[in-house]
Amino acid sequence: MEKVNFAQKFSLFSDYCKPRIVGEFNDNYVKVSKHKGEFVWHSHKTEDELFMVTKGKLCIKLRDKDIWIEPGEFVIVPRGVEHCPVAEEETHIILIEPKSTVNTGDVEDKLTVKDLQWI
Would you tell me which residues interact with its own copies (CB under 8 A)?
A: 1-7, 23-28, 30, 47-50, 54, 62, 67-69, 72-78, 81, 96-98
Between 48 and 90, CB nearer to its own copies: 48
User: How many residues would you count in the chain?
Assistant: 119
Max distance between CA atoms of the chain, in angstroms, equals 42
Between 68 and 108, CB nearer to its own copies: 68
CB 22, min distance to its own copies, A: 8
Between 17 and 58, CB nearer to its own copies: 58
Between 13 and 68, CB nearer to its own copies: 68
Rounded distance, CA 52 to CA 45, Å?
Answer: 21
CB 76, min distance to its own copies, A: 5
How far is CA 37 from its chain centroid?
A: 14
Rounded distance, CA 66 to CA 11, Å?
Answer: 29
CA angle, corner 27, sides to 12 and 5, nearest 5? 25
